[in-house]
Amino acid sequence: MKITRSAATLLLTSGVLALSPLALAQELPGWNLVWSDEFNGPTLDTTKWRAEDAALVKNNEQQYYSPNNVFIAGGNMLIKAERLWQGGRPYTSGLIETRNKFSQTFGRIEARMRLPGTQGIWPAFWMLPQSGSWPPEIDIMELLGHDPTRVYMSNHWGVYPSTWTYRTTGYTGPNFTTTYNTFAVEWHSNRLDFYVNGVRRATHNQGIPQTPFYIILNTAVGGDWPGFPDASTVFPQWMRVDWVRVYQPIIQNASLESMGPNANAGLYGWGNWGNAFYDGTLGRSGSSSAKIFGNFNGGANNSGIYQDMNATPGKRYRAQAWWYTPSGDKIASPNFAALNIEWRNAQGQLISFETFPSIDSTTPANTWVQSEVRGIAPPGTARARIVAIFLQNNNAGGSIRVDDLDIREVQCPPDLAPDFAVDDSDFVLFADAYNELVCGTPCPADFNNDGIVDDADFVIFADAYNELTCP
C-alpha cells in the first residue's frame, strides 16, 4: 500500500535542501546520458573528436594514423586500415580521440561496433587520463585480428616501469568481425565492470583510476601483441562504429560500495542527517550498506540518507530499496523505517511526498527485504528525491541497514490498440513488432524513439503491462 502525506507532515521528510541536479537525458535505465555521438552527420564532428595525424611510436606498431582514413557514412564512423606507405610506415590507418574535448571520471562508456580482422590487425576502444600521464589505462575492448571471436578487457596501473602492472580478461563470443556488438565499461570508484552485449563479462577491482579519462577508437596494424601482417592478411580492413555513448548513474553509489574519488569511507554521493553512517561490514549485493538508527534524544526524531534526480511534473517515478535489521540490534517497536519519494521545486523546497513503511519490529531479523514506492510528480516539481528514513519514537532502540537503492522514471507506452487501456490487445501488437520487426516508420512500438524496436522498448512496455502503472 502506498501512503501519501502532505508537505506539512515533516516527520517523514528529510528536511534538507536538494543536491545538484544531474543531466536530464536518459536512454538507459538507471543512467543519465551525458555525452554521445551517433555519427549521423556528413563528417566527423571535430567539436567532439580529434583525428590523429602522426606515426606514433607505440608497441612496435607499423601504421601511420591519417585523418584521411576516418570517414562518416551510413550513420557509422569508419576507420580504414590499408597497405599504403605514409610517413615512413608501410600501412595507414585511423585514430580518433576526445582529449581536450570531453573527459569524465566514473560512469558507463559504451560503443556499438563491427571490428576489422585478419592477421596483424588490432582494433581497440580504450581510455587514457586527460592529464596525459600513463599509466593508468582502461581498455574497454581489444581484438587480435587472427582470433576474431575473442576480445580482451584490461586495466593498467602503477608507475612505469618500476611498479607498472595490469590485468586482462578475455571473452570468447561471436565473430566480432561479421556482426555488430556493444562493448561497455561501468567505471566505479572501486571497480571496473566490463560488458559485452549487455552481459557483464569481467570485474576488475585493483588499480581503479580516480581522475578524468578521455575516449579513443583506433585500428593499429602490427605490433608486439597481435604480430604483423602476413600473406593471410586482407586489406583494406574497416572498423565500423555505430555510436559511442557516455552515462552517469542517476543514483550515485546505489549499492553503497564506492568510497568516492578521495577514497573516503563514507556515504559517497549521498546526503545524510542524524545517525546515518557507512557500514563496510554488512551489505546485500556487496560488502557495504548504510546503517541508520535513532538519535536517542528522548522524543520522536528521524535519521536518514537521500539523493536527488531531475523530475518532470506529470511523469511517473518508482523508488526501490532493500532493508535489513540484525538480530543483535533489532529495530524495536514502535520504531520503523520508510522509503520516500519527495517532490521538490527548483529551489529545493518540499511540495509533497509518497512514502512506504518498509521495515519495523515485526520484520524478520537477518533477512534482506525489498520495498517500493511510486508516484506522479505534481505541478512545480523539478527534482525527485529518494529518501531512506528511520523514525524513532519513545527512545526505543535498534538499527537498520539499507542497500541497493534505485529511483527512475516509469515510462508509459502509448495505447497501441487504442482502447484507453494498456492490455492484452496492446501486448499482441507490441509482440508482433518486437519479435518480427515488421513495423514501418515511425514504428508504433518504438517507445524510446531511437528508430528500432529492441530490448529497451520491451522494458518500457513490460513495466506498464505487468505493473499496470500507466493509464
pLDDT digits (tens, 9 = 90+) for 35-83: 999 999 999 999 999 999 999 999 999 999 999 999 999 999 999 999 9
In-domain check, residue 254: no
Q: Residue 341: its pLDDT value, please?
A: 97
Same domain, yes or no: 66 and 152: yes
Instruction: Work out the pLDDT band at 250, boundaries 50, 70, 90.
Output: confident
pLDDT at 259 over 80: no
Same domain, yes or no: 398 and 429: no
Query: Any bridge partners for residue 278, and if so which?
Result: 290
In-domain check, residue 264: no
Same domain, yes or no: 9 and 52: no
Same domain, yes or no: 92 and 163: yes
- d(CA 139, CA 137) in angstroms, rounded, equals 7
Q: Residue 360: its pLDDT value, please?
A: 95
Q: Residue 257: its pLDDT value, please?
A: 83
Reported as a single tens digit per residue, the pLDDT across 103-156 is 998 899 999 999 999 999 999 999 999 999 999 999 999 999 999 999 999 999
Q: Residue 2: its pLDDT value, please?
A: 27
Domain end residue (candidates: 249, 284, 316): 249
Domain containing 322 — which CATH number? 2.60.120.260
- d(CA 422, CA 429) in angstroms, rounded, equals 11
Q: Which of 394, 389, 387 is nearest to 300 (CA)?
A: 394
- d(CA 178, CA 322) in angstroms, rounded, equals 43
Query: Under a CB-based contact definition with an 8 Å cutoff, are residues 211 and 129 in contact?
Result: yes
Q: Residue 299: its pLDDT value, please?
A: 75
| Domain around 59 | 31-249
In-domain check, residue 346: yes
pLDDT at 446 over 80: no
Same domain, yes or no: 72 and 127: yes
Q: What is the mean pLDDT of the chain?
A: 86
Average pLDDT (362-379) is: 95
- d(CA 144, CA 43) in angstroms, rounded, equals 28
Reported as a single tens digit per residue, the pLDDT across 173-206 is 999 999 999 999 999 877 899 999 999 999 998 9
- Per the document, the length of the chain is 471
Q: Residue 296: its pLDDT value, please?
A: 74
Q: Residue 191: its pLDDT value, please?
A: 85
Query: Any bridge partners for residue 375, and if so which?
Result: 317
Average pLDDT (342-364) is: 96
Q: Residue 258: its pLDDT value, please?
A: 79
In-domain check, residue 257: no
Reported as a single tens digit per residue, the pLDDT across 213-234 is 999 999 999 999 999 999 999 9
Average pLDDT (461-470) is: 59
Average pLDDT (318-336) is: 95
Instruction: Work out the pLDDT band at 8, boundaries 50, 70, 90.
Output: very low
| C-alpha atoms less than 13 angstroms from C-alpha of 404 in its C-beta half-sphere | 14
Percent of the chain at pLDDT above 70?
80
Q: Which of 342, 411, 405, 341 is nearest to 373 (CA)?
A: 341
Whether the bond between 136 and the residue before it is cis, its omega within 30 degrees of 0, is yes
In-domain check, residue 417: no
Q: Where are the beta strands (DSSP E) in 224-293?
A: 237-249, 271-273, 275-279, 289-293
Same domain, yes or no: 212 and 233: yes
Average pLDDT (329-349) is: 96
Q: Where are the beta strands (DSSP E) in 173-274?
A: 181-187, 192-196, 199-204, 213-221, 237-249, 271-273
- d(CA 72, CA 39) in angstroms, rounded, equals 7
Long-range contact list for 38-43, CB < 8 A, 24+ apart? Answer: 38/75, 38/242, 38/243, 39/72, 39/75, 39/76, 39/77, 39/241, 39/242, 39/243, 40/75, 41/72, 42/72, 43/72
Residue 111 vs residue 280, higher pLDDT:
111
Residue 26 vs residue 216, higher pLDDT:
216
Q: Residue 1: its pLDDT value, please?
A: 23
In-domain check, residue 319: yes
Q: Residue 388: its pLDDT value, please?
A: 97
Same domain, yes or no: 161 and 40: yes
Same domain, yes or no: 236 and 360: no
Same domain, yes or no: 324 and 441: no
Which three three-digit cell numbers place residue 425? 490487445
Domain containing 131 — which CATH number? 2.60.120.200
In-domain check, residue 263: no
The predicted model scores a pTM of: 0.70
Same domain, yes or no: 326 and 398: yes
Q: Residue 9: its pLDDT value, please?
A: 30
Instruction: Work out the pLDDT band at 3, boundaries 50, 70, 90.
Output: very low
Same domain, yes or no: 245 and 214: yes
Q: Residue 402: its pLDDT value, please?
A: 97
Q: How many domains does the chain have?
A: 3
Same domain, yes or no: 222 and 98: yes
Instruction: Work out the pLDDT band at 324, boundaries 50, 70, 90.
Output: very high
Q: Residue 263: its pLDDT value, please?
A: 59
Reported as a single tens digit per residue, the pLDDT across 288-302 is 999 999 987 767 899
Name every residue whose Cβ is closer than 8 Å to that of residue 59 and which is 6 or more positions away in sequence: 220, 223, 224, 225
The three-state secondary structure class of 352 is strand
In-domain check, residue 77: yes
